[in-house]
Amino acid sequence: MSGLRERKKRQTYEAISEAAIALFLDKGFDRVSVAEVAAAADVSKPTLFRYFPAKEDLVLHRFADHRDEAARVVLGRPAGTAPLDALHDHFRDGLARRDPVTGLCDEPPVLAFHRLLYGTPSLVARLYAYQGASEGALGGALGGGVAARLAAGQIVAVQRILAEENWRRIEAGEAADAVEPDAVAAADLAFRQLAEGLSGALT
């Protein structure tokens, strides 16, 4: 029964968010009220807020599973693999899979979602809060302490910049397949610079 309840909760969670994003894409984030979202999802406002504490979370829940992704990669890396190597390999794999979080995805629904996200200041601000949580989780996975927190901040910033550069080119009209070689080269450069600068901080 607990498994069934969890599935139903997840279905409700997804249904509310999908209804919200459809409305936001159609009318604009700031022109849609939480009450409208609740009505479209056929739930009450209190129910909606139990799932999504803030209006911005209706959009950014898609990033929720990624908040501790870098930490999971580090903690789950094979024995003998350096943290940066594991993160580098994971990012390159994301590029190959056209993972939207890498910015290298030109599917129309993803493009529309990114335009909504980056075109709404309050959503961008909320995204930075998610990235701050990612930094905290990664810092813990790297051992905690000031050195680990500094390293985590640099790594998360590099991944953000790489994704934003890929997204900028996709938004300008380039195809993901055309951008991929440069995206891979930029990722290699970025992680090489991180490795050279953090060689004394990470083991």
33-71 per-position pLDDT tens digit: 999 999 999 999 999 999 999 999 999 887 776 788 999
pLDDT tens by residue, 132-180: 889 999 999 999 999 999 999 999 999 999 999 999 999 999 999 999 9
Question: 7 or 149, which is more confident?
Answer: 149
Share the mean pLDDT of the chain: 91
What six digits make up the tokens of 21? Answer: 């994003």
Q: Residues near 137 by Cβ (< 8 Å), separated by ≥ 6? A: 67, 68, 70, 71
Question: Residues for the chain: how many in total?
Answer: 203
